[in-house]
Amino acid sequence: MVNITKKSNSLRIAIATATVKVSKQETIDAVVQRKIPKGDVFEFARAAGLFGVKKTSDVIPDCHPLPIEFTSITYDIEGLNIIISVEVHTIYKTGVEVEAMHGASVSALTMYDMLKPIDKGVEIQNIRLLKKSGGKSDFKNLKFPELKAAVVVCSDSIFGQMAEDFSGKAIMARLEKFEIETEKYAVVPDEVEAIRNTALELSESGINLLIFTGGTGLSPRDVTPEAISPLIDRQIDGIMETARTYGQERMPYAMLSRGIAGFIGDTLVLTFPGSKNGVEEYIDALFPQILHLFKVNKGQRH
């Protein structure tokens, strides 16, 4: 099974359809009038479809078991076609398109089984996904080549060339995936004035996205939040709440990070942990959806 542990929960919706085609109007009339010998086709097929949605991971090997939080199965009749629509919702790390299609398939098979004694020309046609939403796939086509980014590493040891930077380079590599170029890269010591002066200089130079890595913990030299906080014009608490929650589900010390986020003028400033794993988790938790802030900051609607 595909590893989905890096994904975040979000509302996932999928709608799938299947078409059952009969060969004569008498069959449609019998279905509508509930006169099929085996019983009410609509209700039996609906019940079977619900089981199909719930049991998808039991019969499709690579499907993850997930909580089904809403399912709707409805019908439309167009001529000799009965169109089954299955809508499925969940709040989870992966989508429900296979669940919706499986539910539509099982509903259609149930109809076929119930109708074949009175109509030998019944066919199942066009099982397909109509719609899916939720997760990062909603943002996969968004690119942000117009954004200018800067990455600043806060570390006494890296500044003194006694250690190598991994977290800053990891941030730049991730930004490249969104076609965001890192125009400035700097290493500063864990000193309030050095960090603050660098933030002011970069925010005044036209940088849109400024990411600091390091200095957000609780050691005596971790002063990045103290340096950045007085400069923030509009703090956005939800950004770091989201990142810490994501991290806490994976590592028990994430709650100790003191990172902050907000705008200095038109520059979005993020303060990440100093470890490579930490920054990668923060980017997994926040990107690319956080980049929507640049549109909102220009006054565009959500």
Annotate the chain with three-state secondary structure: CCCCCCCCCEEEEEEEEEEEECCCHHHHHHHHCCCCCCCCHHHHHHHHHHHHHHCHHHHCCCCCCCCCCEEEEEEEEECCEEEEEEEEEEEECCCCHHHHHHHHHHHHHHHHHHHCCCCCCCEEEEEEEEEEECCHHHHCCCCCCCCEEEEEEECHHHHCCCCCCCHHHHHHHHHHCCCCEEEEEEEECCCHHHHHHHHHHHHCCCCCEEEEECCCCCCCCCCHHHHHHHHCCEECHHHHHHHHHHHHCCCCCHHHCCCCEEEECCEEEEEECCCHHHHHHHHHHHCCHHHHHHHHHCCCCC
Known catalytic residue at 237:
no
Cα 233 to Cα 59, 238, 286, 293: the distances in Å are 54, 15, 21, 15
Neighbour tally for 37: CB within 10 Å: 9
Name the amino acid, one letter, at 187: V
Among residues 40, 58, 76, 113, which one is catalytic?
A: 113
User: What are the residue numbers of the active site?
Assistant: 113
